[in-house]
């Protein structure tokens, strides 16, 4: 059981993340995040930063799932998360399925899930930033 992700699997994961279907899904997700969270006085929404921070730093995909569920389950301030949370969880579930499909070794699957989550959040936040910039330019 290796703690280093196999290069062939990274290649497979990159192909999945770069496929047209995923890119479209991720772009739509990013745009939806901008619709729901907007910007904090011109700056990137704290919620988006938090999501990004979690996704790039965790070793386990389930930590990202827990973060989203905790945000959705809060007593106050959860409305926005409840608008997008189910869709985010569906995206994360697809990443989990894909990792299981690409790798057979449980250790590699664990690493691959985290790798896919980082790729996912990079694409989604990229789309969010593009939507934010587009709106700012249209108002300039």
Interface contacts to other proteins, rule CB under 8 A: 1, 3, 59-62, 65-67, 69-70, 72-75, 78-79, 82, 85, 106-107, 109-110, 113
Cβ of residue 111: shortest distance to other proteins, in angstroms? Answer: 8
Cβ of residue 1: shortest distance to other proteins, in angstroms? Answer: 6
DSSP-assigned states of every residue in 70-95: HHHT-SSS-HHHHHHHHHHHHHHHHH
Cβ of residue 130: shortest distance to other proteins, in angstroms? Answer: 29
**Cα-based angle 69, 86, 42 (whole degrees, multiple of 5):** 80
Cβ of residue 58: shortest distance to other proteins, in angstroms? Answer: 10
Q: Which is nearer to other proteins, 14 or 79 (CB)?
A: 79
Q: Which is nearer to other proteins, 4 or 140 (CB)?
A: 4
Q: Which residues pair with 82 in a beta bridge?
A: none
Tokens of 106: 């449980």
Q: Which is nearer to other proteins, 45 or 108 (CB)?
A: 108
Q: Which is nearer to other proteins, 55 or 131 (CB)?
A: 55
Rounded to whole angstroms, the Cα distance separating 136 from 140 reads: 6
Q: Is 133 exposed, middle or buried (0-12, 13-18, 19+ CB in 10 A)?
A: exposed
């Amino acid at each position: 059981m290796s703690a280093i992700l196999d290069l062939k699997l990274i290649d497979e994961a990159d192909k999945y993340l770069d496929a047209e279907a995923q890119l479209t899904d991720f772009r739509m997700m990013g745009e939806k995040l901008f619709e729901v969270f907007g910007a904090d006085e011109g700056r990137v929404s704290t919620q988006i930063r938090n999501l990004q921070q979690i996704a790039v730093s965790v070793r386990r995909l389930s930590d990202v799932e827990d973060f989203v569920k905790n945000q959705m389950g809060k007593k106050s301030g959860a409305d926005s998360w409840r608008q997008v949370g189910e869709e985010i969880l569906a995206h994360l579930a697809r990443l989990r399925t894909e990792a299981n499909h690409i790798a057979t070794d449980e250790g590699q699957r664990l690493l691959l899930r985290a790798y896919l989550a980082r790729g996912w959040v990079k694409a989604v936040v990229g789309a969010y930033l593009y939507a934010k910039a587009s709106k700012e330019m249209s108002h300039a």
